[in-house]
Amino acid sequence: MRAYRVTSTVRPPFLFNYTGGLMTLELQNIWPTTTPVTARASAALAAASAYDAAPTEFATASVQYIQFFITYTRAGAGGAVSMRVELSPYSADIVGVEDWFRHSCVACGQMSSGADTTQSAQRATVVYGSTGAGAEMFVWPAEPLLLGGMVERMRVACAETGAAGTPGTVHIVAVMA
């Protein structure tokens, strides 16, 4: 269901321009539009738990939020896919500069009045373990990831980490707003 904001083409205090004929209204969508992008085409993962050698890069300039819609099909019992979300503040590779940064998790320490708190940060890898033999679809993260228009490019490197000898298949669609 879409939400719309109704605005008048007439200056206040009038809400509508009604002169016995038609009322003039302007409808404007107040929710941002979404842009789906294939972040990883449906393909088998590499063997021996190797991550994708050349993950697909996609532009995210001016994107505020992103969410991943993932389909994983295991090839053998115990299959699991690991995903590394990598971000770049640069629109293109720069020689001599580190271009890609892994998504991270942060945990706050115990808080108490009058004492400093330590935050622990670590690079994150998302691991999804299959629960059945068919294609399994899930969304990550549960809430859209905030980019705030500060990330120029992204990519998602994937690896079969459950049953390394029988790599499954994964397909990822990124939805941006």
Residue 71: which domain range? 32-108+119-176
DSSP H or E segment with residue 48 = none
Q: How many Å separate Cα 135 from the centre of its chain?
A: 20
The encoded tokens of residue 31 equal 């929710």
Q: Note whether 49 and 2 are same-domain residues.
A: no
Taking the CB of residue 91, how many other CB atoms lie within 10 A of it?
Answer: 11
Q: What does the pLDDT read at residue 149?
A: 93
Does 113 map to a domain? no
Q: Note whether 12 and 42 are same-domain residues.
A: no
Distance, CA of 23 to CA of 154 (rounded, Å): 46
137-156 mean pLDDT: 95
Q: What does the pLDDT read at residue 23?
A: 53
Q: What does the pLDDT read at residue 60?
A: 95
| pLDDT above 90 for 83 | yes
Q: Note whether 90 and 171 are same-domain residues.
A: yes
All residues at 6 or more sequence positions from 99 whose CB lies less than 8 Å from its CB, including other chains: 88, 90, 93
